[in-house]
Amino acid sequence: MDSCCTCASILPTASSGKSEKTSLENRRVDCCGRLICGQCIISNTRFAEYCPYCQISTGPSPLPQGLREPPSYYSLPAAAASAINRAEPPPSYTPCPAPITLPAPIDEQADIMDEKHTAEDTLHFLNHEHDSITSLSLRYGVPAAALRQTNQITSDHLLLGRRTILIPGQYYKSGVSLSPRAIEGEDEELRKTKVRRFMTFCKVSDYDEAVLYLEQADYDISAAIKVYFEDDAWESAHRTKPKQTNVQRKRGSPWRLW
């Protein structure tokens, strides 16, 4: 009992005249001996001259002169298959050697050294008439958040209480300050520094009093501090006592109601 190689339908045996007529419609290909039923040939006329398994056409080739058809598929002979089965097994796996790490190029080493040894921060003396966090960020090319973090400034208006500010070297590599000296001059800056030190050391809250002591000592802070403590000791020793007022009053004889 045979079956169609394309639709897998069972083909009747050639025993009667009807079956012979039916079998004549069927086609047995010469390349592989398979059968193609007549219904499949009617549905696809190409099967009348073509084998779908071997992909070989028995009719004339439609290719132009000088071109050849591709080679057909064929099964290996038994001798070749047995030779392949008798082939030696593949070699065993060997561990791969460790990869060799090449030294980094000079440019990469320089970049690594630059990252490890960043430039130092740059000192900038503030001019409160022009300087702000935004203007300094634009002038130095440094993010405003980096300026606030480096100088621990939580709000921009706190910059007015600073005399200097640090420009982070992580972002500003040149290290050249755009304001390397105090705006009012070094002498004026030194004078204000001595006034602040005197007020802090002597716990004086009056600015004019601190300036008076320093001017009398020709801005010699040690002499001014010595004079201040001498005056404070003299005031403590000669402090006047407050007058005592007699709170008690003399009362006359009470009125007698009886």
pLDDT digits (tens, 9 = 90+) for 159-194: 998 889 999 988 898 888 998 888 877 888 889 889
| Span of 45-54, 84-93, 122-131 with lowest mean pLDDT | 84-93
Dig out the tokens for 95 from the structure. 């561990």
Average pLDDT over residues 31-51: 84
CA distance 148 to 167: 10
- pLDDT value of position 43: 86
Burial class (CB within 10 angstroms; exposed 0-12, middle 13-18, buried 19+) of 129? exposed
Q: 56-113: per-residue pLDDT in tens? A: 777 666 666 656 666 666 555 555 556 556 667 777 777 777 777 766 565 555 555 5
Residue position matching structure tokens 């009807």: 18
**Residues forming a β-bridge with 3:** 10
Segment 6-15 shows an average pLDDT of 75
Place of tokens 């809250």: 205
Environment class of 131 (CB within 10 Å of its CB; exposed 0-12, middle 13-18, buried 19+): buried
Q: Amino acid letter at 243?
A: K
215-250 tens-digit pLDDT: 999 999 999 999 999 999 999 888 877 766 655 555
Rounded Cα distance, 147 and 131, in Å: 13
Residue 209 amino acid letter: E
pLDDT for position 20: 47
The pLDDT value recorded for residue 149 is 93
Q: Helices (H) and strands (E) in the chain — how many of each?
A: 9, 8
Strand partners, 11: 2
pTM reported for the whole predicted model: 0.39
